[in-house]
Chains A and B, each alone.
Chain A
Amino acid sequence: MRIGLLYSLGPDDSYDAALEQIVEADKLGLDSVLFEEHHGELGCPAVMPLIAAAAARTRNIRVGSSNRQLCLEYPINGAEDFAVLDVISRGRVVMGVSAGEREEDFRAAGIPWEQREGRFREGLEMLRTVWSQSNVSYVGEHYRFPLHAEGEPGWQREPCKLPFVDQWRRGQIIPEHLPVLPRPVQLPHPPIWVNATSKAVIQWAGSKGYSLLISPLETDEEVHEKTELYDLALRQAGRDRNEVDVVLCRDLFMDTDGDVARERALPALRARIDKLRRQANEDQSGLAVVRGMSDADIVNQCAFYGSYDELLERLLPLKAEAGINHLVCRSSLPGLDSPDVLQSIRLIASTLHSRLQA
């Protein structure tokens, strides 16, 4: 199991403190750092500059988003952003994507909320294609690329009919065949982790061979349900766990004394959950966290707050049974002091990481 960090940096959180922690995590050899997109106060509304900043400060750690909502804009813009990021980070980007989180964000962007999953599926296929091919055009239900693409629905891969002319002498690029450049460094493209909230998206991700990312809201039980559903979709499509990652995001705070960890971190998480519950969408309304959980239940079923032994006891079944192969920990929450968070990160790296990596 690989281990990374998750940051949900709200309007009042210090980017500098987070980046210091990330620099330290890179030195300690942790595997990834993801930033959560949130257009309210629970995260950062635009994670691209943060990912680029983290990439520029580090050497080895993977950097990326946990839930970039590609369809709040035209997906080709997202393809360009992530390609530039992959170049800046020299191939360390992971793209965690989500269909959509809050109806009000879609209202603001002028995109019908009901279309989010349809757009998401089309958008993601667009990204994957334009990252690796130049002579393509697309006609879909929600998008066309380029705008005036015509023909049958789906991808068109027309060979160039004109004699070969260097692009710089062509006067202009043939407008039907626009190359998205620069290309990402990773081949065939950066890893795509689908942060799936609905069953339909989990099944679709499995059938298409996209990796699955599970958000920190789920209880251990709900995690198992999701991975079973995902595995079924994989099997039905003739796919295998070996070609994908199953990533679990979790609130995780560690101390040598488990009680100290819970005492420090729980109030911060409680405050966050209360805010989240007020704005949960229909996909999330079935989750135990959203229905309401006691502090004890949160600690026992959801968040990983405790000492090494306590956490290992919970993590091993998730690794063995649910097959989680990448754990992304959110240690930093508003209200927690940066030195404490740093200590937790050091403990994660020196104990959990070395134990679970095998």
Chain B
Amino acid sequence: MEVVLGPFGMQSPHPYRRSHADMYEDLITTAQKAEELGYDGIALTEHSFWYDGYCPSLLTALAPVAQHTSRIKLVTGTLLIPQHDPLKVAEEAAVLDRLSHGRLVLGLGVGYRPEEFHGHGVEIGRMGARFLEAYEVVRRALTQETFSFEGEFYNYKDVSLRTRPWQQEVPMWVCAGFAEWSIKASAKRGWPYCTTGDMDGGGTIFGRYDDYAESFGHDRKNLKHALFRDIFIMPTEQEADMIMEQDYWPAMNDQFFGFGFLREKNPDGTMMTEVPPAMKEVMLSNRIARPRGTPAMVREHLAPILDWNLDMLIARMSWANFNSERALQSAEVFAREVIPMLRESTVGKQNIGGPVK
């Protein structure tokens, strides 16, 4: 299993305002540190039109990281492809892959905020169908010298990307959640599946994905699994709890409710802007979905995922308003104390990177 640090959103939210220019510079330092600590990659994530300056342009933001590191993979987790022109994304991906000498890992997702779709001139309706087409367009553009595509949303006839990516096959992932349609659609096409997990942590998702894929005629051996996970790790339990209370929970309020990830409504039909008190307990106590505590505790909470046949774990220890020094300390502790356990399950697994020319 390969371990990726992130994803980073490059946000500057109201409880923890920072200069964006400094944050992009710190990202380079963080990536260098991650490379030193033995992480396999660094991931960025995107959203648009959000007050804290969430990064809207991943393939641009990853290029400086490519220049100042030499080994780690550059992961987009998640690039919201329906909000971009897929051909342009393929072109940028090819250029970034050449710039980084074959270190790009392209995670593509759907998106869910109506304002983001509409702000990019795209209708939100049938976003799933649009995503599946866009993913296929990018895949064909990056793997075929000349490609054509006929669909409901995109049409291409004999288009060739003359600037080819460095890797023969840029690794691509469907980055999604736990909706049945996305599991099934990805399984049908044999596309690698990266999930945020569900309320139970995500254990059953890969089982469903594998079963679907097999029923569509794919060999289980070729299927790839990856997981996003929020991890709260510190030398002592008390410090880890502090991250939860001081960083994570305030961020949840802003970034999930205000932002619109959980589009919950109040009984009177207005949009819910405060988290119901009961929800906090439910979310914080789920240790499989949110491993928390000392290294020993985190190893225990992460143990179930060793059976999920994972190729990649995207471990998030820093988010929106997380104190950046504490986040770096978490990344160090995780690398030292937990990654060795995850590596043991790597035996016999393929690399997330494709073959290099």
Contact = CB atoms under 8 A, between A and B. Distances in A.
A15 to B, nearest CB: 5
Contacts of A90: 21
A180 B63 contact: no
B257 interface: yes
A88 B121 contact: no
A126 to B, nearest CB: 10
Nearest to B61: A84
A80 B57 contact: yes
A77 B53 contact: no
A53 B115 contact: no
Given A56-B63, A180-B49, A181-B54, A171 B120 contact: no
Contacts of B118: 146-148, 175, 178
A306 interface: no
A146 B119 contact: yes
A10 B57 CA distance: 23
Contact of B115 (A41, A88, A172): A172
A45 B258 contact: no
B46 to A, nearest CB: 9
A108 B156 contact: yes
Nearest to B161: A45
B88 A72 contact: yes
A145 B119 contact: yes
Given A77-B84, A108-B87, A172-B113, A48 B57 contact: yes
A50 B95 contact: yes
A280 interface: no
Contact of A48 (B92, B119, B260): B92
Contacts of A110: 154-155
A175 B64 contact: no
A314 B66 CA distance: 40
Contacts of A181: 48-54, 56
B24 interface: yes
A99 to B, nearest CB: 17
Contacts of B270: 171
B35 to A, nearest CB: 15
A45 B163 contact: yes
A11 B51 contact: no
Given A172-B115, A179-B51, A49 B163 contact: no
Given A45-B94, A182-B53, A144 B163 contact: no
Contact of A49 (B62, B123, B154): B62
A183 B55 CA distance: 11
Contacts of A55: 64
Interface residues of B, number: 66
Interface residues on A, range: 35 or more
B197 to A, nearest CB: 24
A46 B92 contact: yes
Contact of A76 (B50, B95, B121, B260): B121
Most chain A beta-carbon contacts within 10 A, residue among B123, B253, B259: B259
Nearest to B266: A171
B20 A87 contact: yes
A110 B155 CA distance: 8
Contact of A88 (B24, B83, B85): B24
B96 interface: yes
A144 to B, nearest CB: 7
Contacts of B191: none
Given A50-B95, A168-B51, A73 B271 contact: no
Most chain B beta-carbon contacts within 10 A, residue among A55, A76, A84: A84
Contacts of A178: 48-49, 115, 118-119
A109 B95 contact: no
Given A108-B87, A166-B14, A185-B21, A175 B114 contact: yes
A120 to B, nearest CB: 16
Contacts of A260: none
B327 interface: no
Interface in A1-52: 10-11, 15, 19, 39-41, 44-52
Contacts of A80: 48, 56-57
A57 B67 contact: yes
Contacts of A169: 258, 273
Given A48-B59, A87-B20, A172-B271, A56 B99 contact: no
Most chain B beta-carbon contacts within 10 A, residue among A47, A49, A51, A90: A49
A180 B47 CA distance: 11
A84 to B, nearest CB: 4
A77 B120 contact: yes
Most chain B beta-carbon contacts within 10 A, residue among A57, A175, A181: A181
7 contacts: A48-B60, A49-B63, A56-B64, A84-B55, A172-B114, A181-B48, A181-B49
A-B pairs, top 9 by smallest CB distance, nearest first, are: A171-B271, A56-B64, A52-B63, A182-B53, A168-B258, A80-B56, A45-B91, A46-B92, A167-B51
Given A172-B115, A180-B119, 6 more contacts: A48-B59, A50-B63, A74-B120, A145-B119, A168-B254, A172-B258
